[in-house]
């Protein structure tokens, strides 16, 4: 067992892998990450699958499914469900041992539905039913329309990973939707034990402002936004509203750090792992970042519950001309657009392998 990743596990933070591919499953690499590097879950997104399909590992399966007359989107979800249900089986012992707290995998709805509440609800329920795995999250973007879908899907009993959150305000909207769904379940005599995580994207903040601010400000904004969001999370868990739900048997919607691979070559390759240590949170890591932390990572000081110096840092950026509220909205929209581009590219790859 790796000492660096184990330290985070003992502290109470869980590491998930931000990747999925057929080769990762067939080679035994994912099982090794579970056994040796304390990986307790896995996330996926359209860009990850688009990159996985670039090789030839899926060619035979794609051709066979194309021959059945399925659309490219139907072929994709068939392949994604095959991979993720297999991964869910690998994580099932962790899921069972933790009473459903850990051992999760995530499948995202089409990013083309980011502004369509009704269709998101339908697809989320359908995918969860098709997967038939208790430890599978359906990922729904935290856009205004997506958040409305989250409440309905939670009420329907589907575990949700709310993705593409960038600010405390985004996080609180996702948390409100989660709590609203749980409250409606309780009012209907249903179990409140529906799991959810809220995924805050960190590194994209620093990429977005790098060209706009001087060198001393590089790679500081993402962590500051994460610290402010962590404070909002802790305050929400202390609120009367959440305490009432917890007393009724609900579990917290855990905060998940996403986009934690370092993009700046001048920065430490474990920057966002070491800076975002916090118990009862999750950090989902690209393979490169996971291996780097396992090799030479250091467990930093846990985040302060009160947000620490985050507000002071944010004021510095505002004086530099950064409008964090406007930037959060822009980053969320750009995130949806980037996933949509990957989605179209992935479907094109599938269509190209269609038999004549």
Q: Concatenate the DSSP letters of all residues of 296-318 into one string.
A: H----PPPPTT-TTHHHHHHHHH
Catalytic, out of 139, 210, 263, 298: 139
pLDDT for position 343:
97
Give the rounded percent of residues in the chain with a pLDDT score beyond 70: 99
CB 15 within 8 A of CB 283: yes
CA distance 152 to 24: 34
What would the pLDDT profile of 309-356 be if each residue is shown by its tens digit?
999 999 999 999 999 999 999 999 999 999 999 999 999 999 988 765
| For range 257-285, the mean pLDDT | 97
Active site residue 263: no
Compute the radius of gyration of the chain from its Cα atoms: 20
B/e letters for 78-93, b = 16+ CB within 10 Å, e = fewer, are ebbbebbbbbbebbee
Per-residue pLDDT, 130? 98
Residues contacting 46, CB < 8 A, separation 6+: 108, 110, 111, 339, 340, 342, 343, 346
Q: Is the pLDDT of residue 218 over 90?
A: yes
Given this model, what pLDDT does residue 356 score? 55
Residue 214 has pLDDT above 90, yes or no: yes
- Helix 72-97 to helix 324-352 angle, to the nearest 10 degrees? 120
| DSSP H helices in 188-323 | 203-209, 221-237, 240-247, 271-275, 287-296, 310-319
Q: Domains of the chain: which residue ranges?
A: 3-352
CA distances to 36, 94, 323 from 4, rounded to whole Å, are 11, 20, 37
As a 3-state breakdown, the chain gives helix, strand, coil percent values, each rounded to 5, of: 55, 10, 30
Q: What is the pLDDT of residue 310?
A: 97
- Residue 342, token pair as written in the block: 């990957």
Q: How far is CA 40 from CA 30, 95, 124, 217, 306, in A?
A: 10, 8, 23, 34, 28
Architecture of domain 3-352: Alpha-Beta Barrel (3.20)
pTM of the model: 0.97
Lookup: tokens for 146: 């997506």
């Amino acid at each position: 067992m790796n000492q660096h990743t184990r330290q985070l596990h003992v502290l109470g933070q869980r590491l998930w892998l931000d990747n999925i591919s057929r080769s990762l499953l067939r080679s035994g690499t994912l099982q090794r990450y579970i056994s040796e590097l304390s990986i307790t879950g896995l996330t996926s997104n359209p860009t990850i699958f688009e990159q996985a399909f670039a090789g030839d590992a899926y060619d035979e399966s794609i051709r066979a499914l194309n021959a059945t007359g399925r659309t490219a989107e139907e072929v994709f979800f068939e392949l994604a469900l095959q991979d993720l249900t297999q991964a869910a089986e690998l994580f099932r012992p962790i899921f069972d041992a933790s009473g459903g707290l850990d051992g999760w995998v995530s499948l995202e709805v089409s990013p083309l539905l980011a502004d369509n509440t009704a269709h998101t609800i339908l697809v989320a329920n359908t995918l969860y039913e098709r997967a038939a795995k208790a430890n599978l999250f359906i990922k729904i973007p935290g856009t205004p329309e997506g958040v409305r879908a989250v409440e309905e899907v939670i009420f329907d009993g589907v575990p949700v990973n709310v993705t593409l959150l960038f600010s405390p305000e985004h996080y609180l909207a996702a948390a409100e939707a989660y709590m609203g769904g749980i409250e409606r379940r309780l009012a209907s005599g249903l179990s409140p034990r529906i799991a959810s995580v809220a995924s805050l994207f960190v590194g994209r903040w620093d990429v977005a402002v790098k060209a706009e601010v001087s060198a001393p400000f590089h790679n500081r904004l993402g962590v500051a936004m994460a610290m402010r969001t962590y404070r909002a999370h802790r305050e929400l868990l202390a609120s009367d509203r959440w305490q009432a739900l917890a007393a009724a048997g609900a579990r917290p919607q855990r905060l998940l750090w996403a986009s934690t691979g370092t993009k700046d070559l001048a920065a430490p390759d474990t920057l966002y792992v070491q800076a975002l240590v916090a118990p009862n949170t999750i950090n989902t890591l690209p393979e490169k970042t996971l291996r780097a932390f396992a090799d030479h990572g250091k467990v930093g000081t846990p985040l302060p519950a009160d947000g620490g110096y985050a507000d002071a840092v944010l004021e510095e950026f505002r004086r530099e001309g950064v409008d964090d509220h406007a930037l959060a909205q822009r980053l969320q929209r750009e995130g949806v657009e980037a996933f949509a581009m990957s989605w179209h590219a992935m479907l094109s790859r599938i269509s190209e392998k269609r038999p004549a």
